[in-house]
């Protein structure tokens, strides 16, 4: 297990409901609103908004993945705090539920021109489902 050292930083991933991750890690890749960004120990401080996507972090040779849904990242040289609307570990994802959500979103998006459909919400639902399925596939 990685511990505090000059080669690690503390990663905390928090949602409104729980602390998902609090570990000393060596690397992080997160879905920033302007594109994915990477963090190594000693990184220059910055703050970013997050979009729906996959968050990857590494401890030693072991990489782990989370599906995250919107939020913020505060990067410091020795700590990264991710505040996300939701964050799910790969083993927590219900694949059948994610596949069902993907199908519903695709069905809504196929009804282009239908004024009763909120296409922005349907697109976000599709992105969430795809991120969840991708993360779940990493351990199966």
Short-list 35, 39, 23, 22, CA closest to 74: 39
Q: What domains lie within the chain, and their CATH numbers?
A: 9-90 (2.60.15.10), 92-137 (1.20.5.440)
Alpha helix positions (H), 59-118: 95-109
50-58: average pLDDT = 96
pLDDT category of residue 140 using cuts at 50, 70 and 90: low
CB 126 within 8 A of CB 106: yes
Short-list 56, 48, 4, CA closest to 27: 56
Segment 80-102, tens digit of pLDDT: 999 999 999 999 999 999 999 99
pLDDT category of residue 110 using cuts at 50, 70 and 90: confident
Token pair 């922005």 is found at: 120
94-111: average pLDDT = 90
3-29: average pLDDT = 92
**Predicted pLDDT of residue 4:** 66
pLDDT category of residue 3 using cuts at 50, 70 and 90: low
């Amino acid at each position: 297990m990685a511990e505090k050292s000059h080669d690690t930083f503390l990663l905390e991933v928090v949602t409104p409901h729980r602390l998902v991750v609090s570990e000393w890690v060596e690397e992080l890749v997160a879905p920033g609103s302007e594109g994915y960004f990477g963090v190594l120990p000693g990184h220059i401080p910055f703050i970013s908004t997050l979009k729906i996507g996959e968050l990857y972090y590494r401890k030693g040779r072991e990489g782990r993945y989370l599906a995250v849904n919107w939020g913020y990242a505060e990067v410091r040289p020795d700590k990264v705090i991710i505040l996300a609307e939701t964050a799910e570990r790969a083993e927590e994802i219900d694949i059948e539920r994610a596949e069902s959500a993907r199908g519903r979103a695709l069905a809504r998006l196929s009804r282009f021109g239908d004024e009763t459909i909120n296409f922005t919400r349907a697109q976000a639902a599709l992105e969430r489902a795809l991120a969840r399925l991708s993360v779940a596939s990493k351990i199966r």
